[in-house]
Amino acid sequence: MALKKIMLEEEEVPKKWYNILPDLPRPLPPFIDPQTREPGGGIAPKIFPKEILIQEFSQNRWIDIPEEVLEVYKIWRPTPLIRAIRLEKALRTPARIYYKYEGVSPTGSHKPNTAVAQAYYNMKEGIARLATETGAGQWGSALAFGCMVFGLKSTIYMVKVSYNQKPYRRIMMECFGANVYPSPSDKTEAGRKILKEDPENPGSLGIAISEAVEDALVNEDTNYAIGSVFNHVLMHQTVVGLEAKKQMEMVEDYPDIVIGCIGGGSSFSGLFWPFYYDKVSKKAPKELEILAVEPTACPSITKGEYTYDHGDTARITPLVPMYTLGHDFIPPPIHAGGLRYHGKAPTLCLLNYTGDVKTVAYNQVEVFEAARLFIQTEGIIPAPEPAHAIKAVIDEALKCKESGEDKVILFNLCGHGYFDMQAYSDFLSGKLLPYEYPAEKVKEAMEKLKKLYPWLEEVKRKYIGA
């Protein structure tokens, strides 16, 4: 009898995070300071605690999880690994499908895995408050939770349209004790400047990042925290994959394919890195396929260019080596708010470039169709982001049906969709559109970037080698 829910004991929560940097197929290209055109971290030392900066560039493969962080993890960890038996049956596939369910966390996604750790290190270094941005509210609620646990204040700049349209995430943050401001706000120079020019500005993630970073730069007792893309964030998420590996061992199975959605790439990296480590250390019992899924509306990897670009619209961050759609990319209004970032994590981009990770893109209509089948078989309503992974899982399982292969598919169900009922309502009433981001627009953005930094090709050749 196959187990449906594969559970670990509390003391089996991993005690170390896995860091992929020493195991990458080639060294990660550095950040570039656009002023000097040389490697440099820009403002990072002024807005992050020392321990986070050490972790960001560490070449140590294993990093101890502090005892205090482990204690908080145990509020919801270990999380279940679930065999999708009913979905398998509905598809009549010989494939075995497993999912790691991160929706059981206090905020309903994987994000507290890093928020708690970041709040802890800031608290240890005497910081009183953290500032951050949030779009739909997943990251803001995770950071507000982490700050609450370690007695820090939190200030969340929430993109104004979401603040007005999605009040429940804001209320959740306020329950955790956060101050939430609609961005652009009158709390920062950056916000005031935009409001003066355009009082009706609906806000964007880029603007909200500028406000949160300014808050951290101006106030001595305040730091900034980020929810994805950076190495330290992805590393904190490896508790997901390390647990999943133990759980697969319990049922004597091992994945042929690991699948996840990618916004910045943290939840998926958290799942696949430990399996990638098996592969590079020649411990994997099988050839491993790693498959990332992005929306056709925001196709950073499938349509973007591997180059250097800013992480934010206001160009505050250094130049980051990544696949990008251009830093002033304006995302079409798709419901997967967490998948609307113009770039992706540098490690994930490198692994795509070397062919170790493959990426596919789906439009939101086919994605919600897949989510509906998942809901009606497994009973859990997924967030629109992991619904992208579910679409890829179903396609892979159907390929197995055709070929008769009994592949093992593992994916990250990185969040539930119980705050996303408007998205499901729009889907059910046929209002969703299958957005495709035009290749032409990517080309325009890349030309603009090269005009802005005429030396970009040279820097790219030198550090990326492409």
Ligand X SMILES: *Cc1c(COP(=O)(O)O)cnc(C)c1O
Task: Return residues touching ligand X (CB under 6 A).
Answer: 109, 111, 138-139, 228, 261-267, 338-339, 383, 385-386, 414-415
Closest CB to ligand X among residues 260, 318 = 260
CA distance 452 to 450: 5
| SS3 state of residue 314 | coil
State which residue, 188 or 324, has the beta carbon closest to ligand X: 324
Question: Which of residues 81 and 127 has its CB atom nearest to ligand X in the complex?
Answer: 81
Of 34 and 227, which has the nearer Cβ to ligand X? 227
Rounded Cα gap, residues 77 and 173, in angstroms:
21
Task: Count the residues in the chain.
Answer: 466
The distance of closest approach from Cβ of residue 264 to ligand X in the complex, given in angstroms and rounded to an integer, is 4
Min CB(361)–ligand X separation in Å: 14
Q: Minimum distance from CB of 230 to ligand X (Å)?
A: 10
Beta strands in 84-125 (DSSP E): 96-101
d(CA 47, CA 379): 42
Q: Where are the alpha helices (DSSP H) in 281-363?
A: 300-303, 346-353
Shortest separation between residue 381's beta carbon and ligand X, angstroms: 12
Select 120 or 272, whichever has its Cβ closest to ligand X.
272
Least distance in Å: CB of 318 to ligand X? Answer: 19
Q: Which two tokens stand for residue 326?
A: 């251009």
Nearer to ligand X, 115 or 119 (CB): 115
Q: By C-beta, is 109 or 210 nearer to ligand X?
A: 109
Closer CB to ligand X, residue 14 or residue 227?
A: 227
Least distance between ligand X and beta carbon 402 (Å): 30
Single out the residue of 8, 61, 4, 3 nearest to residue 240, CA to CA. Answer: 8
> Residue 389 and residue 262: Cα distance in Å, rounded?
9
Tell me if the bond preceding 78 is cis, omega within 30° of 0. Answer: yes
Q: What minimum distance in Å lies between the beta carbon of 267 and ligand X?
A: 3
Least distance in Å: CB of 325 to ligand X?
15
The beta-carbon contacts of 84-92 under 8 Å, at least 24 apart in sequence, are 84/374, 84/377, 84/378, 85/2, 85/4, 86/377, 86/378, 87/373, 87/374, 87/377, 87/378, 87/394, 87/397, 88/397, 89/377, 90/373, 90/377, 91/394, 91/397, 91/398, 91/401, 92/401
